[in-house]
């Protein structure tokens, strides 16, 4: 007897930034029933989980506020699986340093502090191999693309799981800098996984969301 496999509807916040690439990556995962570009509260309420892409976190927050989406997003991330990549990681952090004058709005939810643009400007972008031993295996590195990337400077709760670190000195950072974490139904990465052909982290997030839906 053939039983239907569980599926989910995944939202990608589409206010600003690299959301199209995430949509294309997620559309190739069998257990994803639909990928929805989220721009309204109605669309947000129709998805099972959410990806917040890279881009400009200050601009993203300002647009969300103008669209009356900031508070709905804050409620969503406290209840449903959300993955923030690069700027999305900044948005999910409880605290961020290096913001422009006047600061910026955050969604919060992740018990971490991040520093914006840790590695410098666009010209200081780089690529490197990262290990995710607990979710991808010891010998299955991931090719990571860092573009004006933030970094996690402090973990403020024991239930924040460190998924990956930089394993060598890069730019102005010390060895073993934290670049990926998970806390319950929330996940964050400092780099751009959607700019590779490797969808294993997208698959992992979908699995996380499926488990949360049960």
Structure confidence at residue 102 (pLDDT): 58
Residue tagged active-site, from 192, 202, 207, 212: 192
Residue 123: per-residue pLDDT: 57
Q: What domains can you pick out in the chain, each with its CATH number?
A: 8-213 (3.40.50.880)
Let me know if 67 is a catalytic residue: no
Q: Which member of 22, 86, 185, 202 is catalytic? A: 86
Angle between helices 70-77 and 57-66 (to 10 degrees): 110
- Do strands 93-97 and 110-115 pair parallel, antiparallel, or not at all (unpaired)? parallel
- Residue 166's pLDDT is 85
Active-site pick, 194, 202, 207, 212: 194
Pairing of strands 151-155, 110-115: antiparallel
What is the per-residue pLDDT for 119?
A: 67
Strands (E), the chain: 8-13, 32-38, 49-52, 82-85, 93-97, 110-115, 126-130, 142-146, 151-155, 161-165, 178-183, 186-189
Of 144, 161, 156, which Cα lies nearest the Cα of 198?
A: 144
Q: What is the pLDDT of residue 167?
A: 72
Structure confidence at residue 98 (pLDDT):
74
Calculate the CA dihedral of residues 114, 115, 118, 122 and round it to 10 degrees: 100
Report how far residue 175's alpha carbon sits from residue 91's, in angstroms, rounded to the nearest whole number: 25
- What pLDDT shows up at residue 103? 66
Nearest to 180 by CA among 79, 96, 112: 112
pLDDT, position 120: 57
What tokens were used for 116?
């914006």
Answer yes or no: 86 catalytic: yes
Query: Quick check: is 194 catalytic?
Result: yes
pLDDT (tens place) for every residue of the chain, 214 residues total: 345 778 999 999 999 988 999 999 999 999 999 999 999 999 999 999 999 999 999 999 999 999 999 999 999 999 999 999 999 999 999 999 876 655 678 999 999 999 887 665 555 578 999 999 999 988 899 999 998 888 899 999 999 999 999 876 444 444 468 999 999 999 999 999 999 999 999 999 999 999 998 7
């Amino acid at each position: 007897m053939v039983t239907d496999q569980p599926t989910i509807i995944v939202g990608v916040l589409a206010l600003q930034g690299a959301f199209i690439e995430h949509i294309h990556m997620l559309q190739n995962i069998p257990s994803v029933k639909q990928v929805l570009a989220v721009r309204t509260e109605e669309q947000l309420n129709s998805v099972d989980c959410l990806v917040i892409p890279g881009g400009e976190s200050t601009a993203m927050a300002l647009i969300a506020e103008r669209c009356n989406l900031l508070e709905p997003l804050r409620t969503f991330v406290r209840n449903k699986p959300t993955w923030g990549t690069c700027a999305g990681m900044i948005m999910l952090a409880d605290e961020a340093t290096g913001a422009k004058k006047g600061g910026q709005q955050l969604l919060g939810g992740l018990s971490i502090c991040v520093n914006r643009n840790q590695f410098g400007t666009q010209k200081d972008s780089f690529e490197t191999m990262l290990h995710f031993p607990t979710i991808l295996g010891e010998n299955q590195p991931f090719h990571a693309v860092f573009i004006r990337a933030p970094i996690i400077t402090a973990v403020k709760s024991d239930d924040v799981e460190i998924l990956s670190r930089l394993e060598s000195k890069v730019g102005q950072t010390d060895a073993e800098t934290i670049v990926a974490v998970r806390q319950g139904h929330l996940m964050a990465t400092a780099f751009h996984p959607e700019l590779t052909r490797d969808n294993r982290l997208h698959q992992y997030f979908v699995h996380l969301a499926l488990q949360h839906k049960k």
